Amino acid sequence: MSGQWLDEIKWTGDGLVPVITQELGTGKVLMFAWMSRESLQLTVEKNEAVYWSRSRGKLWHKGEESGNVQALHDIRLDCDNDVLLITVEQHGGIACHTGRHNCFFKRYENGNWVEVEPVLKDPSEIYK
């Protein structure tokens, strides 16, 4: 597989591209993450989402510990070639490390952040 398609992406100075992950079927935004050139190529090869963890400084195959993998359906590149949108099938129904369906579970209400999405599974049961 030629890497020309990877060259069309405008990578940040540290070699990353922001990625919005959307759920197939519902259209719900599950999470935001980063991908490196290698993680994007692995995502295509594995047909599962592989991100770059900035906090850990390493590749992060989504679901590698929890089992809640993200099966790849579609990859889109925005008009400026600097943001990816991937559509996935979220296995296990949990995308967030807090045990929720998605990472956007806090809503602004009258000067406060209110948790509006339930914890589906205690994180201590997901991550060993």
The model's pLDDT over 48-81, given as tens digits with 9 standing for 90+, comes to 999 999 999 999 999 988 999 999 999 999 999 9
Domain-wise residue ranges, the chain: 4-126
State the sign of the Cα–Cα–Cα–Cα dihedral 91, 94, 97, 103: positive
Phi-psi region of 63 (alpha: psi -120 to 50; beta: other; left: phi over 0): left
Mean pLDDT of 80-103: 96
CATH architecture of 4-126: Roll (3.10)
* Backbone dihedral angles phi then psi of residue 90, each to the nearest 5 degrees: -85, 105
Q: Is the pLDDT of residue 1 over 70?
A: no
Nearest to 23 by CA among 63, 68, 70: 70
Contact in structure between 106 and 86 (CB atoms under 8 Å): no
| Res. 2 pLDDT band, cuts 50 70 90 | low
| Res. 127 pLDDT band, cuts 50 70 90 | confident
| Res. 126 pLDDT band, cuts 50 70 90 | confident
Characterize the bridge pairing of strands 84-90 and 16-23.
parallel
* Widest Cα–Cα separation across the chain: 51
